[in-house]
């Protein structure tokens, strides 16, 4: 799977679970700009787990702050070629 495909699916998942998003959902949009409430985040996480057939750990789910955080995290979990795995090892 390519990074562009992950981006597209992540944005679709957020859009589905944040129907009243106050700003357009793009890779650089933050959750603060989107006014994501905790229920919006956990519903998006559930959607991503189902879409990508992955399990997102609780701490990762709680620490997502932007669309890019989500894309990077999902890319790691699905093993997108070229994903910087040093992020994982540095934690």
Residues that bind other proteins (CB under 8 A): 19-20, 39, 42-43, 45-46, 49-50, 55
3-state per-residue secondary structure call for the chain: CCHHHHHHHHHHHHHHHCCCCCCCCCCCCEHHHHCCCHHHHHHHHHHHHHHHCCCCCHHHHHCCCEHHHHHHHHHHHHCCCCCCCHHHHHC
What's the closest the beta carbon of residue 28 comes to other proteins, in angstroms?
Answer: 25
What's the closest the beta carbon of residue 43 comes to other proteins, in angstroms?
Answer: 5
Beta carbon nearer to other proteins, 49 or 69? 49
What's the closest the beta carbon of residue 74 comes to other proteins, in angstroms?
Answer: 16
């Amino acid at each position: 799977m390519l990074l562009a495909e992950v981006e597209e699916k992540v944005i679709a998942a957020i859009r589905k679970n944040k129907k009243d998003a106050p700003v357009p959902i793009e890779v650089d949009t933050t959750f603060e700009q989107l006014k994501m409430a905790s229920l919006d985040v956990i519903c998006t996480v559930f959607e991503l787990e189902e879409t990508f057939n992955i399990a997102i750990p609780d701490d990762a789910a709680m620490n997502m702050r932007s669309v890019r955080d989500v894309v990077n995290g999902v890319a790691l979990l699905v093993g997108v070629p070229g994903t910087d795995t040093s992020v994982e090892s540095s934690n």
